[in-house]
Structure 1
Amino acid sequence: MDDTTHNSPDTSGTLDEALERLHSFGPERDGWLSNHAPMAVEALVRHGQAPGVHRWLDHYRAKLEDMPARFTEVTPDNWREALGDPRRIADWTAYFERETAGRPWREVLAEWWPRLLPGIAAGATHPVIRVGHCVRTLLASGENAPRVAELAHGLGYWAARHQPLPPLVPLAPATGAAAALDAVDRVQDQSGGIRERLDQLTGFPVWPPRPVTDAEPARTRPSMDPDFARARLEELVRAATHRYAAYAHGSPVMLVHAATAPNAVLRTLPALPRELWAPSLDAAWAASAAVTAAYTPERPAEHPAAPEGLSPEEVFARAAAHGNDHTIKFTDTALDVGGPTALAAALRSIELIPPEL
């Protein structure tokens, strides 16, 4: 991954102001559509667009709804029955606010990450993406009340919308992430929303194939080295970002999540115990493959290359001016990946997704 485009941590206070402004609102609107504002403002600030954040929020305000009413308190004794219950969004948020007030945020994250990973498809992958943006800020800029509260909101949203994928059959292994995404079968009925499409999933290619060591027979599935898992996760984010350029016409908005969801997992790895890195890769692959299966078109489309001499900063400035939350977040991931193909993919999102500003 390309770290050359990462900007310095925000010292203006804009992100903290934006998060405080947003925390009176819920994570959804119109029943289940996600509130993307916390993720988008984090990306805007990170890439030097802090002066326009409050104007962007003023425009986005029409899409925000108040935090829903409390239902029944989530406790250490009843959390299992509350998992995946969207009526409990406010209850889950309050639970994680209590947890992060009483313990270090890394400890809370490490405890709940493996519990939540099986439901990574929750809310069309938006909860894990929100957590990834938050953890990036906590790692880069340190913790304070608004940032830790944002983690509580992200984890609470994920727990309330927790959605495991249906049982999946392992299909023929693929040697690389790009080949694995190409081998994912499209769902047959693409007329419904993501929940209806995910219900049709039956199996994914095995990726990455597990290396066999001298100490473990070939019939077993060896444990994965954490550094190997991280490298493969970087490969997956790169492949999904590059693939968007040719396949985005199938669903320009939804297909961004094939890249932004695994990138959220990648951003979270440094805050997690290393023994969680391999299962994190497996979950990220499932999320990326699920979105690919649900929305990829039958054939790729021709697309222009990124203009020569166009810098990553200029591409992100175009995304910020475009204003769409998905375009901003996808371009943020494309800059993480780096290189002309990723920039071309970012420009493709600007071309295909309707502007907001």
Structure 2
Amino acid sequence: MDTTGTLDEALQRLHISGPERFGRLSNHAPMAVEALAANGQASAVHRWLDLYAPRLEDFPTGVEPVTDADWACALGDPRRAADWIGYFGHELAGRPWRDVLARWWPRLLPGMYGGAAHPVIRVGHAVRTLLAGESTGPRLTELAHGLGYWAARHRPVTGAAPVPGAGSAAAALDAVPPLAEREGGFPDRLGRLRSLPVWAATVSEPAEAHRRLTELVRAATHRYATHGHGEATMLVHAATAPNAVLRVLPALPHTLWVPSLQAAWTASAAVTALYAPDAPVAYVPPGTVTREEVFAQALAHGDEHVIKLTDTALDVGDEQALAAALRAVQLSEPLR
């Protein structure tokens, strides 16, 4: 993790900006700069941020403060993003961040599907930073922004009937029924989701939940190498959302690991249903390329989703994961 202060500087730059732009598109910069710093590219953080900065919007205006008495009424109201971020900023200033996270994780977990799962992904990056180093002001503020964004965009998946799945995560993702009507963006498609396969539903032990979540991240990352062309940007989240949950597990009480697995599976399966292509393409091995070379290609490309998928692919670390990262480079428009 970066010890130069560059990441903290970048986060301070970003905290005057809102979590979204155009009222619906997520601000990916905090996640991307954390991924750069975590992968030894702190020297590129400000240069990348200068390219991304024109996409940022000012921090939104608050409506009224969120309180412990009325928080449930504000949950899932995107107009209250500033109010929620302020609430978590106050909470994190007065209590250890792990305590705040443990208190709010079970409240937020059922609604991790709002904002195309970007809020939980942002929280995952923030928690990785806190676990890896000092709990500095900018890093705690970043956690407040991530949790606040999640609370504002909180949206459960409802009405999806369980259908037979499979034993492995890879086979269960293959069993996901594709959405018949593909019109509209993520919220519209999510509202039309009617069924999802059952997977890992009998898991009851925290250690097994961790193992199965690791399996899911690997399977979803591998799948991008052959299915990413269905929608190059959105299918990234089938891997990065469960990986965000996996990164948070070490900071959570063990009692929360099993429900975290189930929520992560729903997120990955839902994204797969909404954007999977009609047919896969052949897997192309990455050749002799190294991990460092793959991340260098992602950085040179610059797209925030490419950087984040590559970050997850390096967590997985095997040949097909590297191939998935290279496939994202191939499919996505570079940052200009």
Alpha-carbon shift at residue 10 of structure 1 (Å): 1.1
Aligned to 2:301: 322
Determine the C-alpha separation between the residues in 2 that align with 1:193 and 1:244: 20
SS at match of 2:162: strand
Alpha-carbon shift at residue 168 of structure 1 (Å): 2.1
Identity %: 62
CA RMSD of aligned residues (A): 0.9
* 1:248 paired to 2:228: yes
Instruction: Find runs of 4+ consecutive structure 1 residues off by over 4 angstroms.
Output: none
- Aligned partners of 1:183 and 1:205 also within 8 Å: yes
Determine the C-alpha separation between the residues in 2 that align with 1:200 and 1:234: 28
SS at match of 1:170: strand
- Aligned partners of 1:173 and 1:209 also within 8 Å: no
Determine the C-alpha separation between the residues in 1 that align with 2:7 and 2:201: 40
Alpha-carbon shift at residue 303 of structure 1 (Å): 4.2
* AA aligned opposite 2:240: T
* 1:285 paired to 2:265: yes
SS at match of 1:333: helix
Determine the C-alpha separation between the residues in 2 that align with 1:286 and 1:303: 25
Alpha-carbon shift at residue 52 of structure 1 (Å): 1.2
Determine the C-alpha separation between the residues in 1 that align with 2:147 and 2:175: 32
* AA aligned opposite 1:235: E
1:1-357 mapped onto 2 (5 Å cutoff): 9-210=1-202, 224-308=204-288, 310-357=289-336
Determine the C-alpha separation between the residues in 1 that align with 2:306 and 2:282: 20
* AA aligned opposite 1:192: G
* AA aligned opposite 2:290: S
* AA aligned opposite 1:63: R
Please list every run of 5 or more consecutive structure 2 residues that lacks an aligned counterpart in the other structure. Answer: none
TM-score by length of structure 1 reads: 0.93
- Aligned partners of 1:109 and 1:272 also within 8 Å: yes
Determine the C-alpha separation between the residues in 2 that align with 1:166 and 1:252: 26
SS at match of 2:196: strand
* AA aligned opposite 1:326: H
Determine the C-alpha separation between the residues in 1 that align with 2:182 and 2:4: 45
Higher RCO (C-alpha 8 Å, min separation 6): 1
Alpha-carbon shift at residue 210 of structure 1 (Å): 1.4
Determine the C-alpha separation between the residues in 2 that align with 1:173 and 1:53: 42
